Structure 1
Amino acid sequence: MTADTAYHGEMGRQFALQATNSAYNAHTDRPAMLRLAGDVSGLRVLDLGCGAGHYSAELLRRGAGHVVGVEGSESLLRAAQERLEDRAVLHHHDLEAPLSFLADESFDLAVMALVYHHIDARGQLLAELRRVLRPGGTLLVSTTHPTSDWTYFGGSYFAGERVELPFGDGFVISYWRMTLEQFLGELLGAGFVLEELTEPRATQEARLVDLRRYDKTHREPHFLAVRLRRP
């Protein structure tokens, strides 16, 4: 039995609020992923683990032609529906299961923002992404930085274990701690080609939101983001 990776109920509501303007989500990961996306004018975009719809909304603002969001949490999906209204097609779906409702080679760009490390069935998910992306299509993936996890949790860098991180009002986020070798190895092993890797630092706007976290991202790597191509 795979883990339930979605942020349900009140946890989802709190995450949606935090992601709107937090130093890490809004001002570190999101700008990096959008930069990696480049020109999205007219593209068909798949937003996996779309959360409260922040990435989808920005991609649409930048000219994406059609956006499909997939999210396992009903509370986050409601937040996405409020944010996106009828501008995107949203699906309630557990990413541990195949994306059987999506057609082969139907997307130009797929985005997985801070989702991949939560998933148990990552091999299956990558195979599904390769199926639904057109040849030459782009995959963007961000994750927690292996060095950041090692610094925070300690122990062996090569532990490769599920860890838990306190979040919000008494909640816990569970995800897989991975080495850089494992993270990139899984993506390349699934047949994707690496085009760019970045270690995002918070934008200047984050200084006004949370100066401590802004400074931290400029001293220590916190996230890792990659742009890959489907041959």
Structure 2
Amino acid sequence: MYDVLARYAPELGRQFHDKGLGPYGMVPFGHSSPVFPGAKRERGRYAAGGHGVVEFGSPLPEVVEALGRGFAAREVIDWGGVALRLTGIEVVSPPDCSSGRIRLRTETPVLVKGSKHLPAEGERISREGWLMPRSPLWAQFFRGNLARKARTLGLDDSVELESVLWVGAQRSFRVGNGAKPGAPVEVEISGAPETLRALWSWGLGQANAAGFGWVRS
């Protein structure tokens, strides 16, 4: 994605890479992992082969436009040394969200990082401060991440986590410095329709630009 932005929106790409956007230095885009519906499933191995889909998204129209232009000009995406041949591009519009409430399920693990120490007791939460969805503090820090994203985009930040409806298996991926643990989730959140649409386009939790927290449905 940074390569595409460097070619079609270089100033924006440099800003995201060097400083991020807004007061929190967030990077407002995300992506899924490649999914191959027809590939044979084998335990302990990533199912790949045949026709597949990989999704990219952002709540910023200028980013979406640059990605569309960049991918339309390519025949192959280099995915970590694996060549994915592009056969078509489809634009997916965000849901309506006019009710002010939406249910989102992620395809990839959601990362939520809390304080390394509990404020009162000073008890260490975990080595890196990562929280799992069943932690009593997870909802607090998850909601804070949603609000920071809204403020980064200049949107209404009165967004709330109404309920956690499903938690998938915990998984850990090594991205950058150290392994980052999380779990896919299905949550119901409420807020201004424009804010909810932006969150659907961006992803949930932290490190969306590294593929975490991508919304599947």
TM-score normalised over the length of structure 1 = 0.33
Higher strand share: 1
Higher helix share: 1
Highest RCO, 1 vs 2 (Cα 8 Å, sep ≥ 6): 2
Q: Which has the larger radius of gyration?
A: 2
